[in-house]
Amino acid sequence: MTSSFPPGFRWGVATSAFQIEGATTADGRGPSIWDTFATLPGAVAGGDTGEPAAEHYHRLPEDLALLTGLGVDAYRFSVSWPRVQPSGRGRPERRGLDFYRRLVEGLRDKGIEPFLTLYHWDLPQALEDEGGWRSRDTAERFAEYAVLVHEELGDVVDHWTTLNEPYPCAIAGYAEGRHAPGAREGHGALAAAHHLLLGHGLAVRAMRARATSGQRFGVVLNQSPALPVTRSDADIAAAERQDTLLRRQFTDPLFGGRYAPGLTTMFDGVSDFSFRHDGDLETIGQPLDYLGVNYYYRLHVADAPHREPDPARRTAADIGVDTTRLPDVPRTGMGWPVEPDGLTEALVGLHHRYPGLPPVYVTENGCVYPDIVDERGVFADEQRIAYLREHIEAARAAMAAGVDLRGYFCWSLLDNFEWAHGYKHRFGLVHVDYPTQRRTPRASYHWYRDHIAACRTA
Ligand code: FCB
């Protein structure tokens, strides 16, 4: 397996600010929508919040040492917008920026390439109070914030990702209410999806105008291919609706120069799409240097009645599908079906659908299983190792089928705050004991280290 990856293929790990940093009130940081959401009764399992997370903000040297020990080529992390602009606009908070400079310089010292993500879901609460992503103004604010960070860190960061997964931001956040800010809307959620894309385009255009030649700009999307559970016309149409909502709503304007066909019909009576302005499509479709694909599972879709019959009261998640009928395949500790060939399918499918697709990275892939600690105190996570091995193999198969894949990032370096699941589910290659903050590399950490080393010498 190792010899099939070309020299220069990047092996990495990924994290995000809110999930690991903790220190939610340190050094002038403002509240984000996740700080607010986590205080709502029942919003996050166990009543968990962004404290303590993995206290990464205060444990940077230790975590840099873990990255060095792993031998990764690249580290994907996100900048917390409310650490840099506590109220989402205006003068930067110097102490927040200094933290990211220390991080990035620390990475560079160790020869690790920083992949910076500007937005991994932690919108400043002050902007949500003015409408959040429903509002076009938030797209403008995002571009300003992007330029600010780019001006501050452009000398040490070459890989600039605008958004992580606009789909859950818009749909889980503004339609399903499962994620911050916890809204359940139709038009508002579709507007949020559009404004996230618009913010991305404005940010790329503005940063590129100021960029040096080595800098690269991209976006990260979650890609769960949707398979109909039967070959009936109804199930096939349901799978198409699911795919339009989750994938093509984003990939068509980004890489296909058009809005996803079918989206307006699906939401007839839900939204008039008046948030689309002339010129937006061109802004959104800025040429990109890479696409990041996050893959965890495939969706199996059956036709189902809408939960709300009246379109005017329907949320943008209510598209007449049932995604609970899973095939008889192994599941992770979160119940997600393990289907590595879904990763190949996602990558190859993008490659065929969009001829001008930029080079691709797998920017997240990983899993959760209950911890098994052996008699020597070792976290013997053989299931995670098998999961990673199979998915890396699936990524390699996509390359053999013509996909220009440049790297793979495992999610995640550390156990962390898994959004609405709180601290219950652990994705880390490194176990974190939250009360003591002791870090213990799991067997998968050692396996991944050896895998990376073997690829280098192959
Ligand atoms: C992705 C998110 C990431 C993490 C993984 C498990 O959707 O981008 O923050 O929570 O899922």
Ligand 1 center to residue 366 CA distance, Å? Answer: 9
Could you report the per-residue pLDDT of 286-297, keeping only the tens digit for each?
A: 999 999 999 999
Nearest to 133 by CA among 101, 161, 160, 168: 168
Ligand 1 center to residue 373 CA distance, Å? Answer: 25
Task: Answer whether the bond into residue 31 is a cis peptide, omega within 30°.
Answer: no
- Token pair 């303590």 is found at 52
Q: Residue with the nearest Cα to atom 10 of ligand 1?
A: 418
If one counts the domains in the chain, the total is 1
Closest ligand 1 atom, residue 19 Cα:
9
Distance CA 173, CA 166 (A): 10
Q: Is the pLDDT of residue 1 over 80?
A: no
Pocket of ligand 1 (CB under 6 A): 16, 19, 164-165, 222, 294, 364, 411, 418-419, 427
At 458 the pLDDT is: 79
Distance CA 218, CA 287 (A): 9
**Does the annotation count 393 as an active-site position?**
no
DSSP 313-382: G--TT-SSEE-----S--B-TTS-B--THHHHHHHHHHHHH-TTPPPEEEEE--------B-TTS-B--H
* Residue 5, SS3 per DSSP: coil
**Does the annotation count 165 as an active-site position?**
yes
- Point out the catalytic residue in the list 128, 176, 185, 364: 364
Distance CA 413, CA 66 (A): 8
Given ligand 1 and candidates 294, 363, 410, which is best to mutate, with the most ligand atoms within 8 Å of its CB? 294
Could you report the per-residue pLDDT of 79-119, keeping only the tens digit for each?
A: 999 999 999 999 999 999 999 999 999 999 999 999 999 99
Using an 8 Å Cβ cutoff, are 421 and 45 in contact?
A: yes
What's the average model confidence in pLDDT over 335-355? 98
Distance CA 52, CA 422 (A): 11
At 457 the pLDDT is: 87
Tokens of 327: 């095939």
DSSP 41-93: TTTSGGG--SSSTT-GGG-HHHHHHHHHHHT-SEEEEE--HHHHSTTSSSS--
Closest ligand 1 atom, residue 416 Cα:
10
Using an 8 Å Cβ cutoff, are 337 and 326 in contact?
A: yes
Distance CA 87, CA 272 (A): 31
The CATH code of the domain that includes 372 is: 3.20.20.80
Given ligand 1 and candidates 419, 421, 423, 425, which is best to mutate, with the most ligand atoms within 8 Å of its CB? 419
Ligand 1 center to residue 441 CA distance, Å? Answer: 20
Ligand 1 center to residue 335 CA distance, Å? Answer: 15
Classify residue 420 by its DSSP letter. G
Tokens of 234: 């109804």
Using an 8 Å Cβ cutoff, are 380 and 373 in contact?
A: yes
Question: Residue 404: left if φ>0, alpha if ψ -120 to 50, beta else—which one?
Answer: beta
What's the average model confidence in pLDDT over 221-240? 98
User: Does the pTM exceed 0.95?
Assistant: yes
| Domain range for 345 | 2-457
Q: Residue with the nearest Cα to atom 4 of ligand 1?
A: 418
At 200 the pLDDT is: 99
Ligand 1 center to residue 178 CA distance, Å? Answer: 14
Closest ligand 1 atom, residue 168 Cα:
7
Distance CA 308, CA 444 (A): 45
Ligand 1 center to residue 309 CA distance, Å? Answer: 32
Distance CA 83, CA 94 (A): 9
- Token pair 């659908």 is found at 353
What's the average model confidence in pLDDT over 52-80? 98
Burial 16-50 (b: 16+ CB within 10 A, else e): bbbbbbbbbeeeebbbbbbbbbbeeeebbeeebbb
At 377 the pLDDT is: 87
- Point out the catalytic residue in the list 21, 165, 176, 345: 165
Given ligand 1 and candidates 293, 364, 388, 423, which is best to mutate, with the most ligand atoms within 8 Å of its CB? 364
